[in-house]
Amino acid sequence: MTSSLSDAPNFLIRPVQYRDLDTLETIIVEFAQEHPESNSTIFVQQLQQARRWFGLLKFLSWFPNLFQHHFCVYVAEVKTAYTQETRLRGFVQISPFNSSRSTWRVERVMAANGGNQPELFNDPKGVGSQLLRQCFEAIWEARTWVLEVNIYQKNNLALYRQNGFQPLAQLTYWSLTPDLLQQLAERDSDIPNLLPVSNGDAQLLYQLDCVSMPPLLRQVFDRHPEDFRTPFLGGLLDKFRQWRDRTEIAQGYVFEPQRKAAIGYFKLILSQDGLQPHQAQLTVHPAYTWLYPKLLIKMAHIVQSFPTQHLELVSADYQHEREEYLEKLGSQRVKHNLLMSRSVWHKLKETKPEGLHLPEMLKGLQAVPRTPIPSRMSWLQSHSNHRPKTTKKTNNNHPSNSGDSSEKTDHKTQK
């Protein structure tokens, strides 16, 4: 799928090809040198994997399957004015966010020499905006787009804001030092009804995920129970990734037998060689925030069986109890990101039409006097009025009758 935008005909937006992988790696390395806080190792690993399996991934991207959008990248190239040579000026990486593919995620948008030429991002006709617009047009099934951006990357923030992205929540990345994990591991973590996770628990985890976030995020994420199930091929892929990255996954959830619901969930991605920090995902029901210390102690016990390394954890600004506990515990704030979203449904302004007089418009809605249509009840009433009378009735207007009635009344009062 190749398309050139009319507002900047010099740029050509197209899917990635094998010859572009070296240039993409150069761009990502330059960006990592300018922004050391950015985690670019994941994309470098994806590039190395794409080199080995590029032909197979390209073939799988032509029809629906589990690996259709495994490496979905669009690049922007431009021809020089004199030599007519094409040069790669930027790229964008996207991926589905949920199983129904109603929400997509922008992983990263980068431009060559983006730090020296910020107009590549700030200009509405620049390479960054054109890459995003190509994604919005190409992925027709996406209703919502989400992304994360560091609050100190001003150029990226300006790019996303001018393309319709609005902030949803502020995310804080915490780091628990090995000494702190050792102190937590010395405590006792007595968690009743701590169960392992399986595909049969997808409905419980889905309900916990829905109740643990605000309604707006729930609508944007649009998750379903299928998002918490692992298919057979997906499980094999996860095992391959764990073997390749030398990682191991440990997860569990807390079951409440009275309410028949899950009230807490944790997932650990543990590094077996100790070269990368351990990563944790934590979800707690808002009514059971007392689980934060117990679940962290349980994760600290599990981490002790692996090489010594930091533990990274994420919290949002609507999770006040979690942030208060982590700060009181002595955790370190690593970075601050902004979660943003963009909907494809544009809200139109309501405008009042000019030259329209309300009384003239409502004149046709006024009631018009018409002859009533006789109904069955009216016919019966008229028929009863014209029916001949068979019973004798006294005429109260006759003077003799009035006198007799008065005499009878006086006679009764005397008695």
Looking at the predicted structure, is the pLDDT value of residue 277 above 70? yes
Q: What are phi and psi of 414, to 5 degrees?
A: -65, -40
Predicted pLDDT at 292: 95
- Tens of pLDDT, residues 342-352: 987 644 343 44
Looking at the predicted structure, is the pLDDT value of residue 280 above 90? yes
DSSP 205: H
Predicted pLDDT at 353: 42
Q: Do domains 11-164 and 173-336 have the same CATH topology?
A: yes
CA 104/CA 136 separation, integer angstroms: 10
CB 302, CB 295: distance < 8 Å: no
Query: Mean pLDDT across the chain, nearest whole number?
Result: 81
- What residue ranges do the domains of the chain occupy? 11-164, 173-336
Amino acid at 325: Y
Predicted pLDDT at 366: 54
CA 119/CA 174 separation, integer angstroms: 33
CATH code of 173-336, in short, is 3.40.630.30
CA 92/CA 127 separation, integer angstroms: 10
Query: Where would I find the H helices in 41-191?
Result: 41-60, 119-122, 127-138, 154-162, 178-185
* CA torsion, ordered 302, 304, 310, 312, to nearest 10 deg: 10
Predicted pLDDT at 388: 52
- pTM comes to 0.77
Segment 381-399 shows an average pLDDT of 49
CB 307, CB 272: distance < 8 Å: yes
CA 409/CA 415 separation, integer angstroms: 10
Predicted pLDDT at 351: 40
- Tell which CATH classification among 2.60.40.1180, 3.40.640.10, 3.60.15.10, 3.40.630.30 matches the domain 11-164: 3.40.630.30
* CA torsion, ordered 111, 117, 123, 128, to nearest 10 deg: 0
- Tens of pLDDT, residues 38-85: 667 778 888 888 888 888 888 888 888 888 888 899 999 887 666 567
- Tens of pLDDT, residues 174-214: 999 999 999 999 998 889 899 999 999 999 999 999 999 99
Query: Strands 72-79 and 11-15, how do they pair?
Result: antiparallel
